[in-house]
Structure 1
Amino acid sequence: MNIKLSVVDQSPVHGSHTKAEAPHLTIELAQLCDSLGYHRYWVAEHHDSVHFANPCPEILVASIASVTSHIRVGSGGVMLSHYSPLKVAECFKMMATLHPGRIDLGIGRAPGGTGLTSHALAFPHEPQHGDLYAHQSQMLEGFINGTLPADSPYKRIKVLPDSSPAPELWMLGSSGGSAGLAGHLGYNLALARFIDPDNCNPAIFEAYLKEWKKAGHPGQPNKMLAIACICAETEEEARLRAGTAVYRKLAAQLGQREDFLTPAEVQDRYRSMSASEQAAYDHILRGYTVGTPEQCLQEIEQLGHRFDCDEVATVTVTHSHQDRMDSYRLLAQHF
């Protein structure tokens, strides 16, 4: 199996730089990954976060596409419950027109923030909490591909600027809840193992393909597996750098919210943890792909075979922006 390497970027607020620099660092990393031959570069959506700095992926997608040449650029993803399917279609159709053959539109069901931000994004209406996600996803696909049913009141709407350029449509999932819907509607599927590795298994892709075939879609869809990955020259250094992301995830589970800690601060915290907290930390770390380039690539290939998936995207969160750049550079150089 020839595996393609891609990127999902959450635009972390690195402790090595100011918060205002985070979007610029995402663009810098995208340019590096373009030059290194990565296949795809996606940006995520988060609201009211101390850790992640991108609430509007459509703006970063447009910015990245304008300063790169070869890499596909997209959203991983737009949290569709907050938005009008028509407006999302218009934004991404425009980008597909400006950058033909390079734009992806990935959507997700999760809110990407707190309940308070969901209320503010929906104002003056009430938030949907994903209740209409299936209907919105179907409408979005109809606007993008011109396939709205004949009895739709929106059938006559022309999604400007033209009917031909279209982004590649993807749906995001982490534990299988969206797999059947993606297959039924004809979306490609990106499986976010980095969110919930304990419940992310190959059966999700199998269920997805079953629904795809049942719906009568032609050909084979694209599948992507997204994993948490930190690569360094030595395994010891990689595990140390991974501490920042691992502790953030543990802290979120414990209801804590603070800026990213340095690797040294994480080690200090680890030594003062209870045995159960240390066990929880170690469990999270085991769900990451961490090590030397050779170790990481071996695990990436194993995961690709296990999930029968020829594209693996890495999510790399570190305290230092340079450490993140190093991780992507090392992977590409040894791939």
Structure 2
Amino acid sequence: MSIKLSVVDQSPVHGSHAKIEAPRLTVELAQLCDELGYHRFWVAEHHDSVHFANPCPEIMVASIASVTQRIRVGSGGVMLSHYSPLKVAECFKMMETLHPGRIDLGVGRAPGGSGLTSHALAFPHEPHHGDLYAHQAQMLEGFVNGTLPTDTPYHNIKVLPDSSPKPQLWMLGSSGGSAGLAGHLGYNLALARFIDPDNCSPSIFHTYSEEWKKAGHEGTPNTMLAIACICAETEAEAKLRAGTAVYRKFAAQMGQREDFLTPSEVRDRYNAMSASHQAAYDHILNGYTVGTPEQCWQEIEQLAKAFDCDEVSTVTVTHSHYDRMDSYRLLAKHL
């Protein structure tokens, strides 16, 4: 199987750099991945986070597209419940106009932050907590592709004077809840295994494919599996570097929030944990793809085969920006 390797980047706030540097480091990583031959580079959306520094993916996508040459650039994703479908369509169709054939518009249902930030983003209105997501996604598809029904009041709205450029539409999911909707509306589907590997099964893509066929869409939809991956020269070093991301997830499950810990700090805390907490930590680690380039690629190929998809996207979070760049360099040797 020929696998396209892509990137979903969360703009982590590395302990190795000042916090204000995090967005710039994402742009730097995107330029590297463009040179290394990665297929796409997507950016995530987070609000009120101490760990991730990108609340506005549309700005980051535009910045990255302007300083890269070949790689597709997009959102993974825009948290659509906060926004007007028309405005999202305007932003991404404009980017596709300026960077033809390179822009992806991925959307998700999750809030990307706390309940308080959802209220602030919706002000002066009340947040709808995703209850209107299906309707928003349908409207967004209509605005992007010019397919709004003639009996809707928005049918004659011109997104741009020349509205022909169309970003590639994707929907994000982590446990199957959006698969049927994506297939019904004709979105491509990205499955975020890195969020919830325990509930992320190949059957989700099957459900999606069946809904796509049932809706009568033409062509073959694109599917992508997004995984957490940390690569290093040795397996021991990869596991050590992975500790930063694994402990953040473990701490979140414990209701704790603090800046990223160094790998050595994580190791010390792990050694001081109870057996049950060590087991919980190990379970999270087992959901990551961690190891040498050969080990990581072996697992990537196994996952691609199991999920019957030819594109895998990697999410790499480390304490050091150097380690993040190094992981992508090592993986790229097998592209």
**Please, what TM-score do these two structures have when normalized by structure 1?**
1.00
SS at match of 2:302: helix
SS at match of 1:25: helix
Provide the C-alpha distance between the structure 1 equivalents of 2:271 and 2:165, rounded to a whole number of angstroms: 55
Deviation per CA, 1:77-113, whole angstroms, max 9, x where unpaired?
A: 0000000000000000000000000000000000000
CA contact (8 A) 1:94 1:161 kept: no
Distance 1:163 1:279, change over 3 A: same
1:99 correspondence with 2:102: no
Deviation per CA, 1:143-185, whole angstroms, max 9, x where unpaired?
A: 0000001111000100014221010000000000000000000
Distance 1:6 1:161, change over 3 A: farther
1:27 correspondence with 2:27: yes
Provide the C-alpha distance between the structure 2 equivalents of 1:156 and 1:148, rounded to a whole number of angstroms: 9
Structure 2: 5+ residue runs without aligned partners?
none
Deviation per CA, 1:173-216, whole angstroms, max 9, x where unpaired?
A: 00000000000000000000000000000000000000000000
2:67 corresponds to: 67
2:137 corresponds to: 137
Aligned counterparts, 1:82-231, within 5 A: 82-231=82-231
SS at match of 1:282: helix
1:269 correspondence with 2:269: yes
SS at match of 1:206: helix
Which amino acid in 1 is paired with 2:100? Answer: P
Which amino acid in 2 is paired with 1:267? Answer: R
Provide the C-alpha distance between the structure 2 equivalents of 1:207 and 1:126, rounded to a whole number of angstroms: 33
2:309 corresponds to: 309
Provide the C-alpha distance between the structure 2 equivalents of 1:210 and 1:286, rounded to a whole number of angstroms: 31
CA contact (8 A) 1:93 1:161 kept: no
2:37 corresponds to: 37
User: What is the CA distance between 1:289 and its match in structure 2?
Assistant: 0.2
SS at match of 1:124: coil
Which amino acid in 2 is paired with 1:252? Answer: A
1:327 correspondence with 2:327: yes
2:252 corresponds to: 252
SS at match of 1:334: coil
Provide the C-alpha distance between the structure 1 equivalents of 2:96 and 2:219, rounded to a whole number of angstroms: 22
Provide the C-alpha distance between the structure 2 equivalents of 1:83 and 1:53, rounded to a whole number of angstroms: 19
User: What is the CA distance between 1:334 and its match in structure 2?
Assistant: 2.5
Provide the C-alpha distance between the structure 2 equivalents of 1:188 and 1:37, rounded to a whole number of angstroms: 22
Which amino acid in 2 is paired with 1:209? Answer: S
SS at match of 1:157: coil
Deviation per CA, 1:218-239, whole angstroms, max 9, x where unpaired?
A: 1110000000000000000000
Which 4+ runs in 1 deviate beyond 2 A?
none
Provide the C-alpha distance between the structure 1 equivalents of 2:159 and 2:219, rounded to a whole number of angstroms: 26
Structure 1: 5+ residue runs without aligned partners?
none
Single out whichever of 84-93 and 271-280 deviates more from structure 2. 271-280
CA contact (8 A) 1:79 1:111 kept: yes
Which amino acid in 2 is paired with 1:31? Answer: Q
Provide the C-alpha distance between the structure 1 equivalents of 2:43 and 2:163, rounded to a whole number of angstroms: 25
Deviation per CA, 1:116-150, whole angstroms, max 9, x where unpaired?
A: 00000000000010000000000000000000011
1:296 corresponds to: 296
Provide the C-alpha distance between the structure 2 equivalents of 1:117 and 1:175, rounded to a whole number of angstroms: 24
1:284 corresponds to: 284
